[in-house]
Amino acid sequence: MSRAKQYDRTELLDRAIELFRRQGYAGTSTAELVAELGVNRKTMYAEFGSKQELFEAALERYSRRHLTAVLAPIEAPDAGVDAIRKAFANYASASESRFQGLGCLMCNTAVERAALDAASGRYVAAYLERLTNAFRRALINGQRTGDVDADADLDDLSAFFTMALVGVSACIRAAAPPEQVHAACKVATDMLDTHRPKVTPAAAVA
């Protein structure tokens, strides 16, 4: 009869996420993973297979749990322009929290691993697509509620907001001054004001 596991897999993944987030993939040794997870090397390999497979499992866990919580404002079915503003405000606030110097594991991976490792690249590509789709749906909702001009190019705008949010996250990872992060987020969301429905003089008088 096999012995019951003396550990929780998701807890190990959450510990691995925090270590990879702090040090990156290349900067994290197997010995450091063993120490952080609190299991021996044999158990770690038996559960995850290899450092690479552990990293991929951590990315999967991060995507399903952590990103889902962070992106909740713009992934809600009724998300609109206020949700976009809130998403950037949340990231700006992160620059003043424990996440300063850590950033987002997925964004960190985009910089460190996406071009070097096909598996990491797939997770990053899925993340960018997820962000873009969420922004686009929020902008569509904004058009329906009259907050976004009907002629606005939603593909261009959603791509812009995706790249802007990734850039902000990279700045948080680099421990940029919070005031710079807040300023960047403000400039990004000011784009929403430039794409409000045009008010004609006649409509303004009426």
Question: Do residues 168 and 188 make contact, with C-beta atoms less than 8 angstroms apart?
Answer: yes
In this predicted model, what pLDDT tens digit does every residue of 69-108 receive, in sequence order? 989 999 999 999 999 999 999 999 999 999 999 999 999 9
- Ordered by where they begin, the domains of the chain are 8-61 (1.10.10.60), 71-195 (1.10.357)
Contact residues for 91 (Cβ-Cβ < 8 A; gap 6+): 165, 168, 169, 172, 181, 185
Q: What is the mean pLDDT of residues 8-28?
A: 96
- How far apart CA 27 and CA 201 sit, in angstroms, is 60
Q: Of 58, 90, 95, 66, which Cα lies nearest the Cα of 172?
A: 95
The pLDDT-based confidence of 6 (bands split at 50, 70, 90) is confident
pLDDT, position 1: 43
Question: Do residues 59 and 122 make contact, with C-beta atoms less than 8 angstroms apart?
Answer: no
The pLDDT-based confidence of 7 (bands split at 50, 70, 90) is confident
Query: Is the per-residue pLDDT at 21 higher than 70?
Result: yes
Lowest mean pLDDT among 23-32, 45-54, 138-147, 191-200: 191-200
Q: Is 194 exposed, middle or buried (0-12, 13-18, 19+ CB in 10 A)?
A: exposed
